[in-house]
């Protein structure tokens, strides 16, 4: 482990006591021993450590999150060549929704502007919004959202575990409930299999079947299926594992997975071998150098041991639009 990775993990375990930190270290060592080499990447390792901290001492994480929330700020760092950086420390759901809104507006502008790339357009839209200028585009509200998942017992304050935001990781249950109770929230039922923790069905009252399939895949896989990529599934392409034209693959949940645009294009590139099993959530990528990376997706909810006469439980999720409403799972 390099210094940067160690610092990322130390920041995660800072809120817990010394004894709990030793327990987190032990559990993290066991978990990393079962996972592929990609789990040792600093960002992934910190994410796994945060899940374990939440399991060992949920109260300490909540207190630390409260302190971090009180420390929200905007900073300006002047760099060289007349370029500077402005950054903001914000709650994860607010920051994700804000970025999604800037990204959607930039992509809309890109349709009529070939002189600037997407990164440049995002920066220009960001500056125009802060300065009160009109970026000149109307963005659909649904273009900006975050997915928050939480078990029903956490939503009802009967538990303090299980809440997470796609692409970010676990968040304190207290914050999850605050997002959940936003008056502009949109809720939706997701039926999970208690034995596996994987979603098996969605409420269809307001969705066409094709939209339901896409959304169920996003909820199930949560991130790009390439082992080292953590781009949220809602920002990924809907990828047929068996190709639609070549293999006559069907547009179905058991033949689909999210791949970010970069890795979608790389899927069939010469020398690359990609495999993803939607049913079991296992993925592998072999590079042109012959190195194979593997991963297994995290379940939406922790699998529960079967109990007699126990019906499957409902989960719900809600989306955050334009930085104000939220999408959650329970």
pLDDT at res. 309: 56
Indicate whether 91 and 59 sit together in one domain.
no
pLDDT at res. 284: 93
CA gap 309, 107 in Å, rounded: 50
pLDDT in tens, the chain (330 residues): 678 888 888 888 888 888 888 999 899 988 888 888 887 888 888 888 888 888 888 777 777 788 788 889 999 887 776 678 999 999 888 999 999 999 999 988 888 877 889 998 999 899 888 888 777 554 333 334 567 777 777 777 777 777 877 766 777 888 777 777 666 666 666 667 666 777 766 654 433 446 777 888 888 888 999 998 888 888 898 888 887 667 777 777 888 899 999 999 898 899 999 999 988 889 999 999 999 999 998 877 777 666 655 555 444 444 444 443 334 443
Question: Does residue 290 belong to any structural domain of this protein?
Answer: yes
Q: Which of 12, 11, 25 minimizes the C-alpha distance to 54?
A: 12
Q: Within 192-300, where are the H helices? A: 209-221, 261-266
Question: Does residue 122 belong to any structural domain of this protein?
Answer: yes
Indicate whether 77 and 118 sit together in one domain.
yes
Measured CA to CA in angstroms, residue 39 lies from 54, 267, 282, 294 at distances of 18, 21, 14, 10
Indicate whether 229 and 291 sit together in one domain.
yes
Indicate whether 95 and 64 sit together in one domain.
no
Last residue of a domain, one of 117, 143, 169: 143
- The domain containing residue 37 runs over which residues? 1-70
pLDDT at res. 74: 94
Question: Does residue 263 belong to any structural domain of this protein?
Answer: yes
pLDDT at res. 141: 37
Last residue of a domain, one of 70, 87, 122: 70
pLDDT at res. 274: 92
The answer to whether residues 200 and 190 touch, using CB atoms and an 8 Å cutoff, is no
Indicate whether 59 and 119 sit together in one domain.
no
CA gap 110, 139 in Å, rounded: 13
pTM (global) more than 0.85: no
Question: Does residue 328 belong to any structural domain of this protein?
Answer: no
Indicate whether 57 and 19 sit together in one domain.
yes
Indicate whether 291 and 231 sit together in one domain.
yes
Question: Does residue 306 belong to any structural domain of this protein?
Answer: no
Q: Which of 216, 260, 253, 215 minimizes the C-alpha distance to 237?
A: 260
pLDDT at res. 38: 81
Measured CA to CA in angstroms, residue 62 lies from 27, 53, 94, 171, 318 at distances of 20, 11, 18, 8, 21
DSSP string, 291-317: -EEEEEPPPSS------TTPPPPEEEE
Question: Does residue 31 belong to any structural domain of this protein?
Answer: yes
pLDDT at res. 195: 67
The answer to whether residues 202 and 215 touch, using CB atoms and an 8 Å cutoff, is yes
pLDDT at res. 203: 54
Question: Does residue 116 belong to any structural domain of this protein?
Answer: yes
Q: Which of 272, 308, 323 minimizes the C-alpha distance to 293?
A: 272
CA gap 205, 211 in Å, rounded: 12
The answer to whether residues 8 and 42 touch, using CB atoms and an 8 Å cutoff, is yes
Indicate whether 288 and 247 sit together in one domain.
yes
How many Cα atoms sit within 13 Å of 283 on the Cβ side? 25
pLDDT at res. 326: 39
Indicate whether 36 and 88 sit together in one domain.
no
* Interstrand relation of 314-319 and 147-150 (parallel, antiparallel or unpaired): antiparallel
Q: Mapping DSSP to helix (H, G, I), strand (E, B) and coil, where does residue 142 land?
A: helix
Indicate the number of domains in the chain. Answer: 3
Q: Which of 75, 97, 78, 98 minimizes the C-alpha distance to 88?
A: 75
- List Cβ neighbours of 177 (8 Å cut-off, separation of 6 or more): 150, 154, 155, 157
pLDDT at res. 187: 63
Last residue of a domain, one of 98, 127, 143: 143
* Interstrand relation of 169-170 and 186-192 (parallel, antiparallel or unpaired): unpaired
Indicate whether 66 and 79 sit together in one domain.
no
Question: Does residue 314 belong to any structural domain of this protein?
Answer: no
């Amino acid at each position: 482990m390099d210094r940067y990775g160690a610092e990322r993990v130390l920041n995660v375990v800072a809120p817990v006591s010394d004894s709990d930190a030793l327990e987190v270290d032990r559990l993290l060592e066991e978990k990393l021993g079962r996972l592929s080499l990609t789990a040792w990447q600093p960002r992934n390792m910190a994410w796994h450590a945060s899940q374990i901290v939440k399991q060992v001492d949920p109260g300490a994480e909540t207190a630390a999150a409260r302190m971090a929330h009180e420390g929200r700020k905007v900073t300006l760092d002047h760099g060289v060549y007349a370029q500077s950086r402005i950054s903001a420390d914000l709650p994860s759901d607010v920051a994700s929704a804000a970025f999604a809104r800037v990204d959607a507006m930039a992509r809309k502008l890109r349709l009529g502007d070939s002189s600037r790339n997407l990164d440049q357009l995002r920066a220009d839209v960001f500056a125009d919004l802060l300065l009160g200028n009109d970026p000149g585009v109307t963005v659909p509200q649904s273009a900006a959202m975050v997915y928050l998942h939480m078990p029903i017992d956490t939503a009802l304050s009967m538990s303090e575990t299980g809440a997470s935001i796609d692409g970010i990781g676990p968040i304190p249950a207290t914050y999850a409930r605050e997002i959940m109770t936003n008056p502009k929230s949109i809720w939706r039922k997701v039926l999970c299999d208690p034995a596996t923790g994987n979603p098996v069905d969605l409420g269809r009252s307001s969705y066409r079947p094709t939209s339901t399939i896409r959304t169920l895949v996003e909820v199930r896989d949560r991130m790009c299926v390439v082992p080292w990529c953590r781009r949220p599934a809602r920002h990924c392409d809907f990828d047929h594992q068996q190709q639609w034209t070549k293999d006559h693959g069907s547009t179905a949940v058991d033949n689909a997975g999210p791949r970010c645009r970069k890795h979608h294009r790389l899927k069939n590139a010469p020398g690359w071998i990609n495999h993803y099993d939607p049913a079991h959530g296992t993925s592998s990528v072999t590079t042109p150098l012959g190195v194979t990376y593997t991963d297994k997706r995290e379940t939406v909810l922790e699998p529960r041991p079967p109990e007699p006469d126990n019906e499957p439980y409902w989960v719900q999720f809600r989306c955050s639009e334009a930085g104000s409403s939220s999408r959650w799972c329970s």
